[in-house]
């Protein structure tokens, strides 16, 4: 992708077609490694181009680490992984200042958060103090050590995985931290055909699963990713769709069985994600379908149900589906 001025009208912008081509190359490249997870890849790239952070839930072995490594390798970005544990310290995430007796001065020892893509594995295994170490870097894209701020690389994205709270040794994420994640997606099992293909690929003449990303090559660079984020922000959104997004979020605040609805930050997140998804899908404008597609991952972690609804076995996903059915969408 070349450096071209991004205009306010993507339809007239020559960078739009080139941007779509880059995204298609990224998707094709990542899907070679992450077999059977095309929907997950689409949403992960949507979150990246929307400039947000992604919370991922799913049972072990579905490729969460592989997803992050594949994205990073596809644009030649830096990748770091932190395994969150109950004894993890905040400095293990951000880094710390070390005193050098020879020079009689402090030197910065950067932590894994100084990267492009940060995988925070099992983030709710660590206590709140360590979880909160990510807050500043997620929101401000900078890290403060010994009173001095240090910017992280750009683009920067946190992809965090978490275990179900009913598992032993987990801590609920603070609401302030949950709200920092633009989207929350669930990785499901691949189809039988995709799983069969996956098994054949990694067991035929191979002793480990490194083949899945061994042949991946960078198809773009960090500068191009930043340009795509700028391009996504310029995707056309009709005023009726702004109204639609706000009405969906507002409905969560007085919906029966919802103890805490979503804030205006959710409305902003829906529009940003919808713009990015439209770009990923190769369209220069947002339709109601993009709003509906991102509503669940954007709202899932921002809504708290009443105990009565949980006892009845009704999930947040069901509530959001009901809201989408009840809130009328504008005509295309």
Mean pLDDT for 248-257 is 94
Domain count, the chain: 2
83: Cβ contacts below 8 Å, ≥ 6 apart? 121, 122
Encode 106-145: b = buried (16+ Cβ within 10 Å), e = exposed.
eeeeebbbbbbbbbbbbbbbbeeebbbbbebbbeeeebeb
Check pLDDT > 50 for residue 7.
no
Q: 244 and 204 share a domain?
A: no
Question: 93 with 126, same domain?
Answer: yes
CATH classification of the domain holding 286? 1.10.8.80
| Kind plus residue range of the DSSP H or E element containing 249 | helix 239-251
Whether 4 is in a domain gets the answer: no
Whole-number Å distance between alpha carbons of 143 and 113: 8
Same domain? 192 vs 241 = no
- 266 and 308 belong to one structural domain: yes
User: Which tops the pLDDT comparison, 248 or 142?
Assistant: 248
pLDDT per residue over 198-230, tens digit each? 888 888 877 777 777 777 889 999 999 999 999
Pair 206, 170 in one domain: yes
Residue 140 maps to a domain: yes
Q: Is the pLDDT of residue 264 over 60?
A: yes
Q: Which residue, chain included where needed, has tokens 């989408």?
A: 324
Say if residue 323 is in the same domain as residue 188.
no
Based on the fold, state whether residues 87 and 126 are members of the same structural domain: yes
The reply to whether 144 and 188 lie within a common domain is yes
Percentage of residues in the chain with pLDDT exceeding 70?
A: 91
Assigned domain for 90 exists: yes
Query: Which comes out higher in pLDDT, residue 232 or 147?
Result: 232
pLDDT at 165 exceeding the cut of 70 = no
Q: What is the pLDDT of residues 183-202, one digit of tens each?
A: 999 888 888 998 898 888 88
Q: Does 249 share its domain with 228?
A: no
Same domain, 146 and 64: yes
Query: What does the pLDDT average to over 233-239?
Result: 95
- For 167-184, what is each residue's pLDDT tens digit? 555 667 777 778 889 999
Task: Compute the distance between CA of residue 213 and CA of residue 73 in angstroms, rounded to an integer.
Answer: 8
How far is Cα 56 from Cα 164, in angstroms, rounded to an integer? Answer: 11
Clarify whether residues 221 and 259 are in a common domain: no
Cα 65 from Cα 213, distance rounded (Å) = 11
The rounded distance, in Å, linking the Cα atoms of 272 and 49 is: 9
Mean pLDDT on 22-42: 91
Beta strand extents in the chain (DSSP E only)? 54-57, 79-83, 95-100, 105-110, 117-121, 142-145, 148-151, 157-162, 183-186, 258-260, 304-305
Domain holding 172, by residue range, is 10-234
Q: What is the CATH number of the domain that holds 179?
A: 3.40.50.300
pLDDT at 312 over 80: yes
Structure confidence at residue 107 (pLDDT): 75
In a domain, 2, yes or no: no
The pLDDT-based confidence of 5 (bands split at 50, 70, 90) is very low
């Amino acid at each position: 992708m070349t450096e071209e001025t991004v205009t306010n009208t993507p339809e007239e912008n020559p960078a739009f077609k080139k941007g779509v081509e880059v995204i298609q190359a990224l998707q094709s490249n990542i899907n070679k490694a992450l077999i059977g997870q095309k929907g997950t890849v689409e949403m992960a790239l949507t979150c990246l181009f929307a400039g947000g952070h992604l919370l991922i839930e799913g049972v072990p072995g579905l490729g969460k680490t592989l997803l992050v490594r594949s994205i990073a390798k596809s644009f030649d970005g830096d990748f770091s992984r932190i395994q969150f544990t109950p004894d993890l310290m905040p400095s293990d995430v951000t880094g710390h200042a070390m005193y050098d007796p020879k020079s009689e001065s402090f030197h910065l020892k950067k932590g894994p958060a100084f990267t492009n893509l940060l995988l925070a594995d099992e983030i709710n295994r660590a206590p709140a103090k360590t979880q909160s170490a990510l807050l500043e870097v997620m929101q401000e894209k900078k890290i403060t050590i010994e009173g001095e701020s240090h910017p992280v690389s750009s683009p920067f994205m946190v992809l965090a995985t978490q275990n179900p709270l009913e598992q032993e040794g987990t801590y609920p994420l603070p609401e302030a931290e949950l709200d920092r994640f633009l989207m929350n997606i669930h990785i499901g099992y691949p189809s039988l055909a995709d799983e069969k293909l996956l098994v054949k690929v990694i067991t035929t003449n191979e002793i480990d699963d490194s083949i899945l990303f061994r042949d991946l090559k960078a198809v773009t660079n960090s500068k191009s990713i930043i340009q795509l984020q700028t391009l996504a922000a310029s995707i056309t959104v009709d005023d009726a769709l702004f109204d639609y997004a706000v009405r969906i979020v507002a409905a969560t605040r007085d919906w029966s069985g919802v103890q805490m609805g979503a804030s205006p930050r959710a409305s902003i997140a829906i529009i940003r994600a919808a713009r990015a998804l439209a770009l990923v899908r190769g369209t220069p404008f947002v339709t109601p379908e993009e709003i509906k597609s991102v509503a669940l991952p954007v709202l899932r972690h921002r809504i708290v149900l009443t105990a009565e609804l949980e006892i009845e076995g009704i999930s947040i996903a069901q509530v959001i589906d009901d809201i989408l059915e009840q809130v009328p969408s504008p005509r295309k």
